[in-house]
Amino acid sequence: MQLLDGKLTAAAYKAQLAAQVKNLQSQGLRPPHLAAILVGDNGASETYVASKVKNCAEVGFESTLIRLTANTTEAELLDTITQCNNNDAIDGILVQLPLPKHISEQKVIEAIDPAKDVDGFHPVSVGKLVQGLDTFVPATPYGIMLMLEHYNINTKGKHAVVIGRSNIVGRPMSVLLSSNHPYGNCTVTVAHSHTHNLADLCKQADIVVAALGKPGFVTADMIKPGAVVIDVGITRVADATKKTGFAIKGDVDFDSVAPLTSYITPVPGGVGLMTIAGLLQNTLKAYLFRKGITL
Ligand code: GUN
């Protein structure tokens, strides 16, 4: 079993990005600029957005964090997005999800200029992804693809089971793994809450991507020896021994599953860090596209 180390892998991609920013600046160009919009006070969202902003600084990107209160109206949020769309100094826009219940996530996603859609959630981005066109790939599946590439994992012709069909992870992940791409070309099964015999299906998989948000759901009896296991879960579970009062748990029961696998991502220290790498890559892509630069 080999660990797919998100910390090391993300650091390698971030070093490349930092060098690219230096190169741009040496030509007198400004760095890429991400605007992150956070509505309300969801603790997990606060942590994720803070990490995104910190990582921008680490690679030399500019970032602006726009904090709006939980009672912000949908119209006010849409207006903030329009201002970011029209601001030429901003290359990428992300609105952290989930949003308060009174705001339509779909309207918000569709309000973002597709040229600045670094989350890849806009229907234009999703449509392009499905058609195999160049576009912004949602950051978590993108980060997983970067990880497969970094460890040069052979995916061609393999059977991948993706557990979860969310727009953020499962659905785009299934499209990427099945597409004609050096780390794609899998035969993909998308499993969800209505799937029958999930354990049997998983047991046939060469690659399992667990993205359902249920801590410890994937157990050793569901895994074929030698499988590659990617754990996307990041659920906060109460833990009195931690300073924060919670521990981050993945969707995979790591201790029982890991010895069976060829490769596995730990939680924390796996996919979460690669999500940030994916977002940073998308922000550079938006910048280059908007400036008409090809590297
Ligand atoms: N909430 C959970 N994951 C994500 C993500 O990748 N982007 C945004 N904007 N919100 C999220």
CA gap 176, 184 in Å, rounded: 6
pLDDT digits (tens, 9 = 90+) for 115-133: 999 999 999 999 999 999 9
Question: Does one domain contain both 178 and 95?
Answer: no
CB of 253 closer than 6 angstroms to any ligand 1 atom: no
Substitution site in 119, 136, 167, 248 for ligand 1 pocket (most atoms within 8 Å of beta carbon) = 119
Mean pLDDT, the chain, whole residue set: 98
Report the percentage of the chain scoring pLDDT > 90.
Answer: 99
Q: To 10 degrees, what angle do helices 123-130 and 170-178 make?
A: 30
Question: Does one domain contain both 107 and 143?
Answer: no
Residue 286 lies in a domain: no
Residue 217 identity (one-letter amino acid): F
18's CB contacts (< 8 A; 6+ apart) are 58, 59, 60
CATH number assigned to the domain comprising residue 59: 3.40.50.10860
CB of 112 closer than 6 angstroms to any ligand 1 atom: no
* Ligand 1, atom 6, residue with closest C-alpha: 139
Q: To 10 degrees, what angle do helices 6-26 and 271-291 make?
A: 20
Residue 204 lies in a domain: yes
- From residue 250, give the alpha-carbon distance in Å to each of 203, 224, 229, 237, 259: 19, 19, 12, 10, 16
Residue 233 lies in a domain: yes
CA–centroid distance, residue 28 to ligand 1 (Å): 33
Please report the pLDDT score of residue 218 as a whole number. Answer: 98
Range of the domain at 147: 139-271
Please report the pLDDT score of residue 294 as a whole number. Answer: 86
What is the arithmetic mean of pLDDT over 167-174? 98
CA–centroid distance, residue 204 to ligand 1 (Å): 30
The answer to whether residue 285 scores a pLDDT higher than 80 is yes
Residue 279 lies in a domain: no
Confidence of residue 106 (pLDDT cuts 50, 70, 90): very high
pLDDT digits (tens, 9 = 90+) for 37-48: 999 999 999 999
pLDDT digits (tens, 9 = 90+) for 263-272: 999 999 999 9
pTM of the model: 0.97
Report the percentage of the chain scoring pLDDT > 70.
Answer: 100
What is the arithmetic mean of pLDDT over 71-84? 98
The answer to whether residue 135 scores a pLDDT higher than 80 is yes
Number of structural domains the chain divides into: 2
Beta bridge partners of 67: 38
Question: Does one domain contain both 75 and 188?
Answer: no
CATH number assigned to the domain comprising residue 224: 3.40.50.720
Substitution site in 94, 142, 212 for ligand 1 pocket (most atoms within 8 Å of beta carbon) = 94
Residue 120 lies in a domain: no
The token duo for 118 is 């670094």
The answer to whether residue 73 scores a pLDDT higher than 80 is yes
Question: Does one domain contain both 68 and 154?
Answer: no
Question: Does one domain contain both 209 and 110?
Answer: no
Question: Does one domain contain both 43 and 108?
Answer: yes
The answer to whether residue 295 scores a pLDDT higher than 80 is no
What is the arithmetic mean of pLDDT over 57-71? 98
What is the arithmetic mean of pLDDT over 181-209? 98
Residue 280 lies in a domain: no
| Site of tokens 């596209």 | 289
Question: Does one domain contain both 148 and 68?
Answer: no
What is the arithmetic mean of pLDDT over 108-116? 98
Confidence of residue 93 (pLDDT cuts 50, 70, 90): very high
